[in-house]
Structure 1
Amino acid sequence: MYKIFVGDKPIILTTKPKDKKGVKNYNLKTVILRNVIRKLNNSSIKEARLVHKNEKKLLKKFLKKAPNVIAGGGKVYNDKGKVLFIFRNGKWDLPKGKAEKNETIEETAIREVEEETGVKGLKIVKPIETTYHMFKRRGRYRIKITYWFEMKTSFDGKLYPQEKEGITKVKWLGNKKIKKALENSYANIKILID
């Protein structure tokens, strides 16, 4: 099973339809993605389920439905155990961004965290979740695939929000403040923090 978010509502890729109020089932093979997104955005349904009999083919078939944008990001810990957050477009988020040509996904994740926050000395500890969400650019829906990495750093210098990317704040948050930030964050980010 996979979750792809449209805003905070999930599209679930699954082999099992669910007959429940607030859930709409579609055949993955024949579905028109923009109709599903429109339904999620403009109705009271809470989730859409795209159903296919072969579990191994769920993601592959879905990713052919729209152009893919590959991104890398970091859940960064400092020496005090705090996590690095950015505030962009009115919501708390983790630093991430689009992969550039000839760059590994690990290089993307480190570069994006550095560019968006000013933090240096990043070391990747391990890969964590991969998240998926839909967004619209130039009138067309795209699937953003973000590869996330747990990182650590001893950096304790000044933080610099990348303003041209719409980032207005960069903060190290402890557990209490993370809880508060997640009240105004994205479903994908909540998955990474839980």
Structure 2
Amino acid sequence: MYKVFVNDKPLFLTNEIKKETDFKFFLLESADINQIIINFFQNKLDKAYLYHPDEKEIMKTLKAKIPVSKAGGGLVYNKKNEVLFIFRNGKWDLPKGGTEKGEEIEDTAIREVEEETGVNNLVIADKLQKTYHIFKRNGIYKLKITHWFEMRTSFEGTPIGQLEEGIEKVAWLNPEQIKEALKNSYENIKLLFLEEKEIH
């Protein structure tokens, strides 16, 4: 099952038919994806399921219905085991951004962390899960697939947020501060930290 966030609310892609009735259930093949997305943004939907019988085909079917934007990002640890966060649009987030033509996704993730925070000497330690969310750009809804990597750095300078990307501050947060920050973050980012807990 995939979890795609629309306006920070879950749209589940599933190959199981659910009998419950407290949410909307759509057939992926015939669903009007744009209308479903609009309903999320207008707060007419809080969660919904898109059904397709073949799990291997689910994501492919969704991608055929909506343009895809590919991004890479980093969950970056320093020597003190603090995590690098950025603050943008009133929420705590992790550094990430779109791929450039011909760029490997690992290179995208490292470049974006460096550009958005000024932190360098980055080494990829592990590949984390992908996250999915739908956003609007130039009047068109797109599916953003972000490939996340756990990174380590020996960087000891002061991180500096990329102003033109609207980053107001950059901070290294310890586990207690992370807990606080996640209360004012995105569902996708929370998923990454759930995964981290399971790994470590």
User: Secondary structure of the residue that 2:41 maps to in structure 1?
Assistant: helix
CA distance in 2, matches of 1:118, 1:79: 16
Q: Tell me, yes or no, if structure 1 residue 142 matches structure 2 residue 142.
A: yes
Gaps of at least 5 residues in structure 1 are none
CA drift at 1:83: 0.4
- DSSP 3-state at the match of 1:31: coil
**C-alpha separation in 1, matches of 2:164 and 2:147:** 23
Provide closer, same or farther for how the CA distance between residues 98 and 185 of structure 1 changes in structure 2, counting only shifts above 3 A.
same
2:76 maps to what in 1?
A: 76
Q: Deviations over 1:25-83 (max 9, x none)?
A: 00000111111112223345431100011111011111111111010000000000000
Contact 1:17 1:49 in 2 (8 A): no
Deviation digits for residues 83-107 of structure 1, max 9, x if unmatched?
A: 0000011110000000001210000
Q: How does 1:53-68 map to 2 (within 5 A)?
A: 53-68=53-68
Paired amino acid for 2:48: A
* Residue matched to 1:174: 174
Percentage identity across aligned positions? 53
CA RMSD of aligned residues (A): 1.1
TM-score by length of 1: 0.97
Give 3-state SS (helix, strand or coil) of 2:85's partner: strand
Unaligned regions of 5+ residues in structure 2, if any?
A: 195-200
Conservation of the 8 A alpha-carbon contact between 1:40 and 1:48: no
Partner of 2:87: 87
Task: Give the deviation of 1:175 after TM superposition.
Answer: 0.6
Alignment of 1:1-150 (within 5 A): 1-43=1-43, 45-150=45-150
Q: Whole-Å Cα distance in 2 between the matches of residues 76 and 135 of structure 1?
A: 25
Query: Which runs of 4 or more aligned residues in structure 1 lie more than 6 Å from their structure 2 counterparts after TM superposition?
Result: none
Q: Compute the TM-score of the two structures, normalised by the length of structure 2.
A: 0.94
* Displacement after TM superposition at 1:21 (Å): 4.6
User: Whole-Å Cα distance in 2 between the matches of residues 70 and 179 of structure 1?
Assistant: 28
| CA distance, structure 2, for counterparts of residue 49 and residue 17 of structure 1 | 9
